[in-house]
Structures are given as C-alpha cells and as structure tokens.
Structure 1
Amino acid sequence: MAMREPAPADARVALDARQHDLARRFDAVRARTATLAAPISAEDAMVQSMEDASPTKWHLAHTTWFFERFVLAEMPEHHAFDPAWDYLFNSYYQGVGPMHARPKRGLLSRPTLSQVAAYRDTVETRVREQLRRGTMAAHLLDIVELGLQHEQQHQELLLTDIKHAFFSNPLHPAYRDDLPVTRGEAAGLRWIARSESIAQIGHAPWPGACGFASDNESPRHRALVPAHALASRPVSNADFRAFIADGGYRTAAVWLSAGWDTVRARGWSRPLYWNAGMDAEFTLAGWRELDPEAPACHLSYYEAEAFARWAGARLPTEFEWEQAAQALPVAGNFVDSDHLHPHAAPCASTGLQQMFGDVWEWTSSAYTAYPGYRPWPGTLGEYNGKFMDAQWVLRGGSCATSADHMRASYRNFFPSDARWQFAGLRLAKDSA
C-alpha cells in the first residue's frame, strides 16, 4: 500500500516540532562551547602553537561565522555584525570569498576576546529567535543541524589545540586542574574473529531518515569484508612501551618509508606528550603519571602502522571497523564524562571494548569517496569532499568528542603525521 503524502497541516506540525528540537539543541551545543572555553584566558585564547592548530578565539568566532554566513545571511532582514569579519573567520570556503591565511590566525589580536563574545551572543540571539518563532525555512534547518555538528567538531579541536599550546609553553600550565584521575586494569588482549561477509557500509544521505550524516558517509553501499579478527581493545600504553623498549623507533624495517624519514627528521622517540622516562604524560590537567593500562594516544598514522607491523598484525580497514561497530551502542568515555583523557575499560567485558570514545582509531583505509558519492550542493560541498587526498580514516571518537556527535558510520580523517589529536589504534589480522 502506498503511503499518503503528509497533509499540509501534518507537515507544518512536523516543521514546528523540528524547529523546537533544534532550538533546544542549539542552546545546548553553544553552551557547551562556552563551558569548554571558560578556563582559557584572553591571552591563552589567541595562541596558535603550530599551523595545524587554531587559537581558541578563532574557534569561537568561526563557529559563529558559520551560522551567520550560511543561515542568517539567507534572510533578507539580516545585517552583518561586521563585514570585515567575513574575511577573518572564513576557514576554507572558497565559494564565499577569500580568507585570512590559516597559519597566521594567531596574529589576530583584534578583534578582542570580549568582542568575539559579543559576536557569539548577537548571532545566537538571532538564530534562537528564528527557531523559536518557527519561521525558518526547511532547508535552513538542515544547515543549522550541520552547523551544530560542525561546532561539535570544533569543540574537540578547541581542546586538542589548547593542549598543544600549553604543552608548547615552558611552564606547561594545566587547562583544568580539577579533572578526575581514572585508572583501571585493562583486560588481556583477545582476538574476535569474523567470517567473510558482505556488509552494508555508510549512512543515508543527509538529511536522512535516520538522523544526521555527513556527505562523506554516503551513499550506503555493500562492501566485501574478508574473514578477519579484531583485537578486543585498543593498544595500551604498556603495549606501546614494549614497542619502544624493543627499539621500535630505531628499527627502519617496521616503518613506512615516509614514516621512517619523519621519525629521523623530527627526532621522534616516543608518543607526543610522553616524558623522556616514559612514566608521565602531559594531559589537559597538566603532567600526570602515565597509566600503563589506558589506551595509547596522540599517535600518528605512521606510529600506529609501525606498531601494528611490529606486533605481527595490521590496522583494520574502515569497513571491518564499521561492520563490528554497527551492532554496538554508541557509549563510552566521551567529553560528556568530563574526564578529557582516555582510561582503561573494565575487565568484565568479553566482547569488543572501547570501540567508541577514549581514542580515535586509525584504520588502513585511505580517505576517499564511496562509490556514487555526491558532495552537498553549493559552497557546503567544500565541507568534506575536497580533502579526499593523502589522508587516512579514523573511527570511533575520543574522550574529547560529544557522544551525540558520534555514530558507527562517522569518518574522521587526518594526514599521516598528525599527532595532536586523541588518536590511537586497534589491531587487526587476517584469518587463516
């Protein structure tokens, strides 16, 4: 029996309900950004410790610019908060005009942090009013949802970027000194085998019937997944110390050629944020004792791949990872727990542990398009597709990711040498 088209009254009720829900979510996401930024002073907020990172102040302004540029600017009554800021806080959207150079964001002493706060307040008020009046067009509601997902990505970047900035400061200040210390006893590593199968990979196109998904997660398609086994948990700090003790950073044979060149050129001898004695690590709470049972993190793809090769295993493909994750709840140590650091999972579990939260997990899959991929129309099509070059897919989220931002089909991506994210690894191997 064919389903009837929704009556105009039904469609209006659904649209009103969506705007009401988005208004609540808008307030919650924007409030979390403010909470995460609260411990950061005006002086801290303009520091850019490397080209890959951005100042806190820029994150606060850019996530606001997104709503002004792509939502409010579509409304005839809108007047720009400051036309010059369109240049300052555009990130990479060539379709809307030129932008300030990314490596020079730390030079933006003006506008001040208080001016950026006023900008946030003004744009928030305007978006909130439109949502609560129920006057926003349906296609703009889609962009509001994208803007909230985008802001949640920048919340994670705000934390990882300020962590790198504080580590780069000789005083090594703490972002927060009240973060809990959580220690556990990691379960022994076990192998969980899966038979060869054809898996359904990806998500419905955005806006999909089953919630938000980025364009790089679609179209949903079939993928042949050969027989394999996944490790029951991520690689721990103790595991990685064994790699180092065995000469891992001094043994060219376990490294990709470009990885070995990077190790020598940059003098890598241990993960980022570990001390020379490998018994302490720099965290968002400052220096703390290294927990040997917690997942190893702040590893580049090169380091993850070298460890897997040393261990006689490999990194999983993103299809192996997603197939396993589809049957699991999206639950774990996310930013919501307010630990802001990975910790060991309880020993009681007998299945796959920590697939979500704690650390992003590198895969062996290059970040490229799924068969039949189509980017979002217009300028927003620049959001993901143009970065499908020389990057690798990571899965699962981290201790700095929001729980309601994560899903089994989510594809994060970074280049091979990126270390400042909460990235670790899970081993995989082929089945006989």
Structure 2
Amino acid sequence: MHTVAHPTREQLAHSYLLVRSFSEQLCEPLAIEDYGLQTAVEASPPKWHIAHVSWFFENFLLRPLLPGYQVFHARFDHLFNSYYEQTESGFWPRAKRGLLSRPTVAEVYDYRKHVDQAMQALITECDESDWPLALERILIGLNHEQQHQELLLTDIKHHLALNPLRPAYRADLDISAPEQAVPLTFTTLEGGMTEIGATGDGFSYDNEHPRHQTWLAPYRLANRLVTNSEYLEFIEDGAYTNPAIWLSDAWTVIKQQGWQAPLYWEKIDGAWHEMTLAGLISLRPALPVCHLSYYEAEAYARWTGKRLPSEAEWEHAAASRPIAGEFADAGRLHPRAADVGALSQLYGDCWEWTGSAYLPYPGYRPAAGAIGEYNGKFMCNQMVLRGGSCATSGDHLRPSYRNFFYPHERWQFSSLRLADGVDGGTTSDDLGTTQGRSA
C-alpha cells in the first residue's frame, strides 16, 4: 500500500483495491462454517471483520462525503459498529458477534462490493474542498483494514485451535527452523536526549503524536527475541508454580486461568507441541516464543535478571534500521528464527512487549467526534507493543507505531526482547545462549 503523505487520487484508488483484495485473499482458505466462529470475546468472527472494515468506510466517508449515497442495509450500522459511542446507531455487543447467522457470508461480500464501488466514485468525484478530509480518512480506513487483516489471522488461529481436530488454516505453510538459535548477545546503545513519535513523513495515527524529546540512560538490547527453548527452561524451572517471580495481578490470572505454558503449547506423549496456522506441529526450539501475555514476558525477563525495554528505548534502537522482517506479505504466517547479527527481528516475526504503559504523549489531543475514539479512549490499563508480527503487512509499520493490549491478553503473535542497563553484569562477547538466570 502507498503510504506517502499526499498520494494522487490514482495512487489512492490503487492502494484501496490492493488492501481490500488482500482481506478477501486471507479469507480464501476458510470454509463457510469458519466465517461465523467466535471462540473468545476479543476474537471476532471473520464475517464480522470483513463487514466492519466496510462499515468504517461507509460511516466515516461515504455517508458524510458522497452526495446521494444509499446505505446497503439500514441496520448494518448497528451490527458492524465496533465501539464508537458517538454514532447514532449504537453497536451490537462485542461478546455476541458470533451469535449472528445473518447476514450471510454472501450478503457481507455483496456489502463489500457496494462499498467498494461507492468508494471508487468518492475518490474520483470528491470535491476539492472536501478532499483533504477525505484523504485523511481514507488513509485511516486503509490502515484500519490492515489492522483487521492481522486480527483476521490471529482470530482464525484462536478459532481453529479450540477444535480438537486442530485443523490447519493452510497446511502448506512453511514452518521450518534451524536446529539451534543464533547466540543471544547484547548491543549497547548510548541513549541521551532523543526524539520519539511520528516524524510527519507518511501516514501515522494520532497516538504517535506529537513527536517529542525524551531522555534515555545508556542501555542494552538483546540481539533477538527469546526462543522456545529458552522459555522452556523457564517453565521447567517451575515458573508457573512460583508466585515470587510474578506481578500480583499476573499470579491471580495464572491461578484463575490455569496457565502452565504459552497459549497454543500442549504436551503430547511427553513432548511439547505448538498450534500454528499450519496445524499442530512439534515445538521448534530455535523459533521465537510467541503468544505470551505481558505478564509472562515481564516474569521471564525478571527471572533472567533483565527487564523489558521501554517503548522509547525500542524506538530509539529501531528508528535507524530498515523495516525488514517476516511479515504477512511473505505468507509464512509464523515467526522465523533470527539471523546472525546485532538487533535482528526488530520488525515482523512477533510483537514485542515493552515495559511502557499505553499513555498519551505530552501534548496529545484526540480528534473531534467519533473518529477521535479510535485510539485515545483506550489509554488506560494497557501496555505498549512494538515492531509488528508475521501477521502484519510490512508497509503498515514504521518506527513510531504503537500497538497496545491488556496485560493478560496473548492471542496475538506477541513475544519479548530482553533489555538492561549498561552495567547489567554480562557482556555481549561472552553471553552465549540464555541459561536460566545467567542471562
């Protein structure tokens, strides 16, 4: 997708078609029965996702800006609104999205075609006086759909993992891995006075603004994500039965939910396996551990004697490095083992939990009206993740991108990278692989 600051109408029309077609491409492996599944409150049915992203264009662009636009169905405004309170329609409860057999999947795709035709007309015919607002909202809508493409994949994985048959979304996916991970080392970064936040070059969300200065003490970042084998040591050391290494809220969740390992891990005949979008596979030791909650990431870091990086530290380290990694575009749809080199896997593979709460930047102001509910009203009780995952489109990311989830949530491709101060006790020359608390 083009993310230049001021695309032409032709470029925008092309980007619109690319993004919209990718959503439908991601749904091609689904059986008709898969479209209505909802196995958790946070995991919506695929049918709802592909309708909701059309609702976004209809509600924020077509109805206010395309003269004579006729809505596809009067009640879709209620069914496919997600959480916007400042609209007249209200919205169907999130936890009950999987209870609706109607509209049918065919009707939802007809809805998409209806919206697509009208959006092409809007892009072509929009009056110059309305174009700045239209452009701003189209870019938000396209990036919003890319977010839902990622949610489509992670929600489908959750739905299929609940099935005792452990069916594959796509059995042909390549989940290969080397026998051993590259050694874990640390890179020292000088810190100092730095700037974080969106630069204004290309699209960004309001929660990435304003760009501002922040002070960073010198710090060190691990060269890669924590691996399955390293996290397995944590489990085998009795982590999930030891309250001493967990935050109080985390320990409450562990007891309530009965957690004993990351989401999608299961032991069969004494050997660990992992559910993937390719189905159930034996655990690959060198691959990044994923589907961790913030609670698990924080506890693991504490167990090693390290910590999670702040989001400012992560952005400072990532800003000067190319946005390259394992993204949804490549079609693997699972994290890949790290390559040799300092600070790999910053983008793609797995979202990285940071130690930063999701809060507004100094001087932040949300947009007026319902569109302002997109990010700002969630700035409480959530933690920031950075870097994207194997389910994220590569052109959706930038160094300043802030993702956020509640600390107990782990159905996303989420992992961790260790950090510490420059006096952390071990050196990048002799660290080797993590061995329990010695990291």
Rate the CA distance shift 1:192–1:254 in 2: closer, same or farther, 3 A: same
Task: Give the distance between the partners of 1:316 and 1:15, measured in 2 at CA.
Answer: 30
Q: Which amino acid aligns with 1:400?
A: A
Aligned counterparts, 1:175-254, within 5 A: 175-184=169-178, 185-204=180-199, 209-254=200-245
Residue 16 of structure 1, CA deviation: 9.6
Aligned to 2:155: 161
**CA offset digits 1:78-121 (Å, max 9, x no partner):** 11111111000000111113100000000111000000000001
Say which SS state the counterpart of residue 81 (structure 2) adopts.
Answer: coil
**CA offset digits 1:228-264 (Å, max 9, x no partner):** 1111101000110010111111111110011111111
Aligned to 2:96: 104
**CA offset digits 1:139-180 (Å, max 9, x no partner):** 111101100000000000011011101111122111111111
Aligned counterparts, 1:378-417, within 5 A: 378-417=369-408
Task: Give the distance between the partners of 2:173 and 2:124, measured in 1 at CA.
Answer: 36
User: Is the 2:5–2:202 Cα contact (8 Å) retained in structure 1?
Assistant: no
Residue 69 of structure 1, CA deviation: 0.6
**CA offset digits 1:30-77 (Å, max 9, x no partner):** 010000011112211001001111000000000000001111001221
Aligned to 2:78: 87
Aligned counterparts, 1:306-325, within 5 A: 306-325=299-318
Aligned to 1:29: 19
Aligned to 1:116: 108
User: Is the 1:15–1:138 Cα contact (8 Å) retained in structure 2?
Assistant: no
Aligned to 2:28: 38
User: Is the 1:16–1:134 Cα contact (8 Å) retained in structure 2?
Assistant: no
User: Is the 1:235–1:295 Cα contact (8 Å) retained in structure 2?
Assistant: yes
* TM-score when normalising by structure 2: 0.92
Q: Which amino acid aligns with 2:286?
A: E
Say which SS state the counterpart of residue 96 (structure 1) adopts.
Answer: coil
User: Is the 2:171–2:278 Cα contact (8 Å) retained in structure 1?
Assistant: yes
Aligned to 1:5: none
Aligned to 1:255: 246
CA RMSD across the alignment:
1.5
Q: Which amino acid aligns with 1:163?
A: K
Say which SS state the counterpart of residue 242 (structure 1) adopts.
Answer: helix
Residue 195 of structure 1, CA deviation: 2.1
Say which SS state the counterpart of residue 275 (structure 1) adopts.
Answer: strand
Task: Give the distance between the partners of 2:259 and 2:351, measured in 1 at CA.
Answer: 21
Task: Give the distance between the partners of 2:345 and 2:226, measured in 1 at CA.
Answer: 11
Task: Give the distance between the partners of 1:234 and 1:243, measured in 2 at CA.
Answer: 15
Say which SS state the counterpart of residue 429 (structure 1) adopts.
Answer: strand
Residue 278 of structure 1, CA deviation: 5.1
Q: Which amino acid aligns with 1:99?
A: F
> How many residues align structurally?
413
Residue 320 of structure 1, CA deviation: 0.4
User: Is the 1:236–1:292 Cα contact (8 Å) retained in structure 2?
Assistant: yes
Task: Give the distance between the partners of 1:73 and 1:411, measured in 2 at CA.
Answer: 30
Task: Give the distance between the partners of 2:275 and 2:403, measured in 1 at CA.
Answer: 24
Task: Give the distance between the partners of 1:381 and 1:430, measured in 2 at CA.
Answer: 37
User: Is the 1:19–1:134 Cα contact (8 Å) retained in structure 2?
Assistant: no
User: Is the 2:348–2:388 Cα contact (8 Å) retained in structure 1?
Assistant: yes
Residue 342 of structure 1, CA deviation: 0.5
Task: Give the distance between the partners of 2:265 and 2:306, measured in 1 at CA.
Answer: 24
**CA offset digits 1:176-221 (Å, max 9, x no partner):** 11111331342101011122411110014xxxx4100000000000
* TM-score when normalising by structure 1: 0.93
